[in-house]
Chains A and B, each alone.
Chain A
Amino acid sequence: MSLLNLTIAQASAALAAKKFSAVELTAAHNAAIAALNPRLNAYITTTPELALAQAQAADARIAAGTATPLTGIPLAIKDLFCTAGVRTTAASKILEPFIPPYESTVTRQLLEAGTICLGKANLDEFAMGSSNITSGYGPVENPWKRNGSDAKLVPGGSSGGSAAAVAARLALGATGTDTGGSIRQPASFTGLAGIKPTYGRCSRYGIVAFASSLDQAGPMARTVEDCAILLGAMAGFDPHDSTSAERAVPDFTAATGRGVKGLRIGIPAEYRMDGMSGEISALWEKGVAWLREQGAEIVDISLPHTKYGLAVYYIVAPAEASSNLARYDGVRFGKRVDGEDLIDMYERTRAAGFGPEVKRRIMIGTYVLSHGYYDAYYLKAQKVRNLILRDFNNAFEKVDAILTPTAPSAAFGLGEKMDDPVTMYLNDVFTVPASLAGVPAMSIPAGLSAEGLPLGLQVIGKHFDEETVFAVSAALERAAGFTALPSVRAE
């Protein structure tokens, strides 16, 4: 029995039945990482000894009969989550020496459930990017290849290391974070399921901040059910995060079996963009047919401000980033570059520590918040953001969930779309609106492109109604029957 090619649900059942131990499962993953990570660069830091120690504790817990469905499950943790005693870089050189003295709430809850931390997954620097190429620790290679080609493709971003690790069988699941699509787009590019829950569902405490009004943690895994199991442990109220929602966590796993009979599914006209590839629109049509066949009612809807989502996002997110990243000044943690005086020290530290994309976004954010431009850019963007939220609220009076494509294309090559920043930003055109509105959204693998690459569909739900998102996603998953595997993977 392969210990690598399992779903979390399968591994959990096998651990409970003592078919193998958590130590064996973890050792198999450690070996797979040692063999493939030098090529894929999915992990920035690996923690094999810590993982084995956690696996021993998990085996003891399974023997004692106090296991949860996640006890003994090896995960990749995006290197944006602070992990006590384990270096946390946010893929930035400025945090190269940073060892957090505390654990993020999401990873603490996962550890309490008994999961194993295999290592810290690569990402775009400070989660700013859609291809993982902005990492200060090198790009990640997508384990998928175009038919008949060995060209390196990007895994998407920013949770690109998490995506590549799970797709290449170097972890059973992973944590990601999503600010404008950073869970959903890489899930789509690597044939995985991934959900950005409602803003407020998972605590942001201990997650290195990018854009605080948008950042949300979520799981990435091989099936919708696995995501439901992981989210159940990651979610919940946390007094350490003032935007954490004081709500009970529903049984997400049960929701995956609900079916879609009688549900109304909205198809937004504005997502049919000029120049959308025929492949993407055909996949979308298939998704509509799959849901209709399972008893859902398909409703045409309008989200009129969709086209402005990216423009709003590229004002709001950099503005918040410029404020959040002001803390990296070489004084309290991280790297310092000495200068002639205090200001010179700040400027040299930040010039050396931040990569080009992070500098661009800090500067855009600084500009749109500066005197004389605040109203024209930032305030205006916040008002349009409200119109985008209203669009969703109006739509959800008529429908229970919305179906769209996740990304405008399949994974692209390393080095493509590099002409200017805006071309890269267009990757997030279908994912950003849900982030701005704070509603939950999930990507599921729905098919392959003509070139043999995975393509995802996105299900968007009402605030705090992840259960319907899981129900619809699971229905799509059943109909799609996606079983393809990437060509680069551990066996």
Chain B
Amino acid sequence: MSLDSATVRRIAKLARIRVDDAEVGVLQTELNAILGYVDQLNEVNVEGVAPLSGGAQMAMRLREDLVTDGEQAENILANAPDRVGQFFAVPKVVE
């Protein structure tokens, strides 16, 4: 499979990364090189093989559904680029 420039723009949009026209061509070449390389997986017969999602050879652990942390608003907001009181502030979303 080979990506065209429209697909590169669509992926960038999905990834929320602004790309200018000059970047599209470069990205298209680089992404196609990577996809060309991974295409070799088509040689492998995976019939009946379950997907392996994790590195941990164990069952997921559960814990009691209890509050164990909190009351840290100032710590959490300390790195915010913009805030209003105890809220993160963003550009206006609804007119």
Contacts and interface: CB of A to CB of B under 8 A. Distances in A.
Interface string A400-431: 00000000000000000000111001000000
B67 interface: no
Contacts of A314: 34, 37-38
B33 A384 contact: no
Given A367-B31, A438-B56, A332 B79 contact: yes
Contacts of B49: 383-384, 386-387
A331 B90 contact: yes
Interface in A316-364: 322, 326, 329-336, 338-348, 350-351, 354, 359-360, 362-364
A419 to B, nearest CB: 10
A298 interface: no
A421 B31 CA distance: 9
Nearest to A350: B17
Contact of B81 (A315, A330, A351): A330
Q: How many residues of A sit at the interface, in one of the four size bands?
A: 35 or more
A422 B37 contact: yes
A442 interface: no
B51 interface: yes
Interface string B72-93: 1001101111100000101111
A335 B31 CA distance: 27
Contacts of A97: 79
A367 B33 contact: no
Contacts of A332: 76, 79-80, 88
Contacts of A199: 54-57
Contacts of B31: 360, 363-364, 367
B15 interface: yes
A331 B81 CA distance: 6
Contacts of A385: 51-52
Interface string A195-218: 000011000000000000110100
Interface in B2-58: 3, 7-8, 11-12, 14-19, 27, 30-31, 33-35, 37-42, 44, 46, 49-58
A396 B37 CA distance: 29
B55 A200 contact: yes
Given A311-B37, A314-B38, A243 B14 contact: no
A377 B58 contact: no
Contact of B57 (A239, A422, A438): A438
Contacts of B91: 338-342, 345
Contacts of B18: 344, 347-348, 350-351
Nearest to B12: A363
A15 interface: no
Given A242-B61, A347-B17, A386 B50 contact: yes
A463 B41 contact: no
Contact of B46 (A310, A330, A384): A384
B34 to A, nearest CB: 6
B40 A308 contact: yes
A99 interface: yes
B52 A382 contact: yes
A389 interface: yes
A305 interface: yes
A387 B82 contact: no
B44 A421 contact: no
A202 B44 CA distance: 33
Contacts of B35: 364, 367
Interface in A90-145: 97-99, 101-102
B55 A421 contact: no
Interface string A428-469: 000000011110000000000000000000000001000000
Contact of B41 (A311, A350, A366): A311
A312 B55 contact: no
Interface of A: 97-99, 101-102, 199-200, 213-214, 216, 239, 242-243, 245-246, 305, 307-308, 310-312, 314-315, 322, 326, 329-336, 338-348, 350-351, 354, 359-360, 362-364, 366-367, 370, 373, 376-377, 379-387, 389, 420-422, 425, 435-438, 463
11 contacts: A101-B79, A200-B55, A314-B34, A332-B79, A336-B82, A350-B15, A366-B15, A367-B7, A381-B38, A384-B46, A463-B57
Would you list the 9 A-B pairs with minimal beta carbon distance, nearest first?
Answer: A199-B55, A382-B51, A438-B55, A333-B79, A336-B81, A347-B18, A386-B52, A383-B46, A351-B18
Interface of B: 1, 3, 7-8, 11-12, 14-19, 27, 30-31, 33-35, 37-42, 44, 46, 49-58, 60-61, 63, 72, 75-76, 78-82, 88, 90-93
